[in-house]
Amino acid sequence: MHFIFQGQLINSSWQLLTELISGRVAVSVLPSHLKYAESHEWVYLDEEGNAVVGITDFAQESLGDLMDVHLPELGADIDQGEEVMSLESVKAASDIFSPLSGEVIAVNTELEDEPERVNDEPYDGGWLFKLAPHDESEMDDLLSDVDYQGLIDQS
């Protein structure tokens, strides 16, 4: 596993510890198996080839404590970059955009009763919806973990 800090690759735990102690880096670890949209959604293709979508830790921290989740409709056909759902927090409401085009085949209904799962587990139990992608090559349009870290470092 590698770590991305302020757009720089950290290859070892020892180097990470040295950088943290020196104060040269801030802690922000992005999963490297995900692809990222500039609008702060993440996506990966599961073992069946379906796209699992959520929001990044950076996005959930920016929103604050989530109060409500408006999930997309099952069977909805959506385009890449299309507004597909919304999240409401104590600070604001935020539209969520689809990083890929496809048909919505599953939604995380647990979030209806526990929207805070997005805050607590943005890369795991806080996933939002799944798509049957129309064109897997759209993944190439998205950012790597290194590129996404560079984007949020500029924020």
Q: What structural domains does the chain harbor?
A: 33-142 (2.40.50.100)
Provide mean pLDDT across the span 25-39: 82
**Between 24 and 38, whose confidence is greater?**
38
Over the stretch 59-117, which tens digit does the pLDDT of each residue have?
Answer: 999 999 999 999 999 999 999 999 999 999 998 899 999 999 999 999 999 999 999 99
Residue 21 has what pLDDT? 54
Q: Are residues 3 and 18 in contact, defined by beta-carbon separation less than 8 angstroms?
A: no
Q: Mind giving me the DSSP string for the chain?
A: --EEETTEEE-SHHHHHHHHHHT-S------TT-EE-TTSEEEEE-TTSPEEEEE-HHHHHHH-SEEEEEPPPTT-EE-TT-EEEEEEESS-EEEEE-SS-EEEEEE-THHHH-THHHHH-TTTTT--EEEEES-GGGGGGSBPHHHHHHHHHT-
Q: Which amino acid is at 75?
A: G
Residue 8 has what pLDDT? 57
Binning pLDDT at 50, 70 and 90, where does residue 16 land? Answer: low
Burial class of residue 22 (count of CB atoms within 10 Å of its CB; 0-12, 13-18, 19+): exposed
pTM of the model: 0.82
